[in-house]
Amino acid sequence: MNIAVYGGSFDPPTLGHMMVVSHLLLNDASIDKVYIVPCYQQRGKTLTSFGHRMEMCQRAFGVLPRVEVTAVERFLGGESLTVRLIRALVEQAPNDKFRFVMGADLLVTAPSWEGWDEIEKLAPPLVVGRAGIAPREPGDPTPIAPLVSSTIVRKALAERDYREAGRYIAVPVCEYIQNNSLYV
């Protein structure tokens, strides 16, 4: 099976995240499944609880076919490292082929990541374009994700502006956030 691995804080998951996954499913026939992997902890960031982020991801991505939201990072524990995640997935399913989904904005820093050479070998990157990131060369990915960030959404949510936040997140995610008084 060919599996695209899409990780991140998903704090909260946005329509931009959903568009990336939809694009992969609709435009890359080689992808059999997409794993959504909320990170457990992120260096230098305080995140909403893992349980809440998992539930929001289920509500955002659960409507899409061939998508699995996985809690593998909970079992790895501690600070999330992409190389550690990829190693664990390969170990669990050695016959599957993995691709690491990353935004074009990360191309500049990725070579300095711990284990980048191993990531490239075990799960060759699938680079997706992002609005606001100019292609560096002909053939670079076309932007597929709108210029929206979880930071913009969290700001609206902190002000309890659910109408504004709802422009960037799925209705079931917005309802979950409101019902659980997250980000206020």
pLDDT tens-digit readout, 29-51 = 999 999 999 999 998 999 999 99
Distance CA 130, CA 132 (A): 6
Architecture of domain 2-146: 3-Layer(aba) Sandwich (3.40)
Extents of the domains making up the chain: 2-146
Residues 6+ apart with CB under 8 A from 137: none
Amino acid 135: pLDDT = 53
Length of the chain: 184
- Tokens representing 93 are 């399913």
Mean pLDDT over each residue of the chain, to the nearest integer: 91
Burial pattern 57-84, b for ≥16 Cβ within 10 A else e, equals: bbbbbeeeeebebbebbeebeeebbbbe
Query: Is 163 a residue whose pLDDT tops 60?
Result: yes
In this structure, is the dihedral angle defined by the CA atoms of residues 110, 112, 118 and 120, taken in order, positive or negative?
positive
